[in-house]
Structure 1
């Protein structure tokens, strides 16, 4: 993978090298030889105006958490405005990392970020956002900035004006630079690149860095992202805080990982996965954190993915790849079941809207009704595709049916594939399946928690899909179609 190198020079006002040459002599003279892990650190202070090159050229790709305006950024802005002299002692500042650098004269460092996804700003994204906004406020209105990208766009638009006010920004910012201890030693550089992610994650622990954010940084989600419809992929919150709170509700990445275990469980049952790993069906609803952890464990296995370009992993297991092909359809199938199930249930002579946990969108009926508790004012939408629907109800009611889609999967040439086209299948057989599913709804008394957290309800749904598939194949055979 070829990426364009970002090159810049940053100047420290004060800087210290750790370990310095004298420390290195002591550290390598005895048993402490490996105690610094092949990493050198420069710590000190840089003036705000000397950080301009960072804002000009660096993204926040390497920072696992996306920066957005919130209470933290507002506090930093207040500190910069009211007590700029105290800022270097109140802030952790910015952590930079790169495997390619050169120490120049007068406390200057040339930094070359060959892979912006793993090098650059490793920690301090909120500080960077606040500092950028603070400096921009001298030349532009920053009130509409919500995300780093908003700030960066405004920065670029006002770059000429910023240069004219540059000397105003003498406040100091703590800056820490991590580099390999020996840039000429390929082994040291390689080890450094592998260490960057762990350092980055550890530095972000106090900021409640999510497991999914770390996994995204390791490339575990790249194959999923590439398979999803763009309209869905663009709404997924792949890393913490990257979603604009003013936009529609984002899709949590762990919701996708939970769905991934439907084909992955099938693959494991067929002994296709390189390790014995699965999640219980009910955990797809009740414990998505466990689904995420198990996903990481699977993806980190050397028989599934291997490291390339530092911490980034590349998938090379065909079975897991085929499971992701199935996963690409599951968000839309989930929404199809959610949208169509009420009418499929009603087609059997039942009344889905008769239960008090089900709300109906029907403005005309609501206006005429004495009891309006069974209606909603705003039209509901489905979780993944934002499709408008006429019923709002807890998704726990249909989670076993979503898991039941496992009954439509089969093995072909060692890969997991659909045994039949799943969308057409739902159009034809969801009504039959909904009629049988009434049994588990009645047994659970329409309690979505009891339904979704009971393994038997999931197994029942899989069985109903399998029975409907047999019926479908028999009908196809009668028609002379055997594929």
Structure 2
């Protein structure tokens, strides 16, 4: 077996770069034999969907066999990501993924599985082995790959003597995402923050599938019960599963819950790896990512256990329960901020109604209500303006140890705090508006907006605002 290394070298042909913002995409074709290091060292941890053999992988392998020359034009190929990389000679790139939960193979898991099995089968047949039949998951394949890595090496050595050998002389489209400047810490962190969103977007309909799966596994159960008890009017409007009839999506509630879940101590996922909380801006710009991370959190054995009743899982983590207890209060607090924001903005010297996004939104909609409680209001607000302020309430929460257990609690009653301090917090926070051209999309997607709002709440809490 080849020893595991941290760095992986990817050799491109016909490559070019595309850079937008803090992300560079290296696009090119990679000969199948040069995917061996990728298969050696990367897994599908960053890919929302696990891969297994079936009609899809069979079709991929059939395309390779029957028409390898056009194969790269029939497939999306493989999407890789790494936060550290180095360009080498001869169109080679050395990548060093630092966090396997968000870096590595982001998309193209079935392609990688099909190609890996194809390489392995050819290698075993070349060395006189018998390739095992039957369906295989990615995990089955990686076990088999490691067991027979010696045969793969022997086969690759033989190919060096006959480089045009047809079996592996086909190209695979590969996209490699890297930070624009790997030596700039801020650039790298921004790059990492975008990967979860990119991964979810590349895997179509993940948001829908995860929501229904989470509901089926009872991951929403405690959240539902707490919302029923705290705010039955809002609870009755939440669609916890597809076509449930509610006009509030489950993902909206889950996104808000990550404001409190972000204060949790470390939790290990099913694979024993420490989970990363979602970036603050994801509660606005990618609620599908919030939903996926929620499902990952709730599937941890330290959070839920199987009840033995069908798919039902039981929440047994006091810290998560306490986070949910606060999370179900957030819709009411969101609505309060939503209703008061225009007046607070104007009190700070602004002209809220003249902002293009505000004007356009209010001209289009006649029925003006708060998003969760449905209370009539004079002015509608773009969500990108409001969400950072809602996130800022995290400053009013703390993770404390009570009777030997961690739990998340309010530092002081949140509604009273908002009634007393929202105006000065908005005055401080609204400084970000001009920097973002008064664009709610830019504000909602900008990490600095959330830092500014959080800082405003902290200063008001400390009595210095």
Alignment-derived partner of residue 214 in structure 1 = 213
Structure-1 residue corresponding to 2:420: 428
Q: Distance in 2 between matches of 1:230 and 1:408?
A: 24
**In the alignment, what sits opposite 2:437?**
445
Q: Per-residue displacement from partner, 1:409-441 (whole Å, max 9, x unpaired)?
A: 112322111111111111110100111112101
Q: Measured at CA, do residues 345 and 238 of structure 1 come closer, stay the same or move farther in structure 2, by a change above 3 Å?
A: same
SS at match of 1:446: coil
- Asked whether the equivalents of residues 207 and 291 of structure 2 are also in contact (C-alpha less than 8 Å), the reply is no
Partner of 2:384: 396
1:264-275 matches, cutoff 5 A: 264-268=261-265, 271=266, 275=274
- How many angstroms apart in 1 are the aligned matches of 2:212 and 2:451? 32
2:254 paired with 1:257: yes
Instruction: Note closer, same or farther for the CA distance 1:221–1:374 as it changes in structure 2 (3 Å cut).
Output: closer
Question: In 2, distance between residues paired with 1:404 and 1:209?
Answer: 28
Which residue does the alignment assign to 1:283?
Answer: 282
Counterpart-to-counterpart distance in 2, 1:263 and 1:207: 24
Change (3 A) 1:207 1:374: closer
- Aligned to 1:423, what secondary structure does the other structure show? helix
Could you list the runs of 5+ residues in structure 1 that have no partner in the other structure? 1-204, 244-248, 361-372, 475-483
Aligned partners of 1:409, 1:434: CA distance in 2, in Å?
Answer: 19
Q: Which residue of 2 aligns with 1:200?
A: none
Aligned-partner Cα distance in 2 for 1:209–1:439: 36
Give distance in 2, aligned partners of 1:380 and 1:311: 41
Distance 1:260 1:227 in 2: 12
Question: Counterpart of 1:266 in 2: which secondary structure?
Answer: coil
Corresponding residue of 2:337 = 337
Q: CA RMSD in A?
A: 2.5
Q: Is the 8 A contact 1:220 1:296 kept in 2?
A: yes
Distance 1:319 1:393 in 2: 33
TM-score by length of 1: 0.49
User: 1:208 & 1:330 partners in 2: Cα distance?
Assistant: 22
**Can you list the C-alpha shifts for 1:308-365, whole angstroms capped at 9, x where unaligned?**
11210010000000100110111111111111111111122322112122149xxxxx
- Deviation track 1:197-219 (CA, whole Å, cap 9, x = no partner) reads xxxxxxxx999963211211110
Instruction: Measure, in 2, the Cα distance between the counterparts of 1:321 and 1:394.
Output: 31
1:64-83 CA deviation, whole Å, 9 max, x = no partner? xxxxxxxxxxxxxxxxxxxx
User: Per-residue deviation at 1:449?
Assistant: 0.9
2: CA distance between counterparts of 1:341 and 1:267?
29
In structure 2, what is the equivalent of residue 384 of structure 1?
372
User: 1:410 corresponds to which residue?
Assistant: 398
Assess, with a 3 A threshold, how the Cα gap between structure 1 residues 239 and 433 changes in structure 2: closer, same or farther: same
What does residue range 8-23 of structure 1 map to in structure 2 within 5 Å?
A: none
- Report the CA distance between 1:260 and its aligned residue: 0.9
CA distance in 2, matches of 1:206, 1:322: 31
Larger CA Rg, structure 1 vs 2: 1
Secondary structure in structure 1 of the residue aligned to 2:415: helix
Instruction: Flag the 1:335–1:457 CA change in 2: closer, same or farther, 3 A.
Output: same
What TM-score comes out, normalization by structure 2 length?
0.51
Note the 1:13-412 alignment, pairs <5 A.
210-228=209-227, 229-243=231-245, 250-268=247-265, 271=266, 275-308=274-307, 309-359=309-359, 375=363, 378-412=366-400
Distance 1:208 1:225, change over 3 A: closer
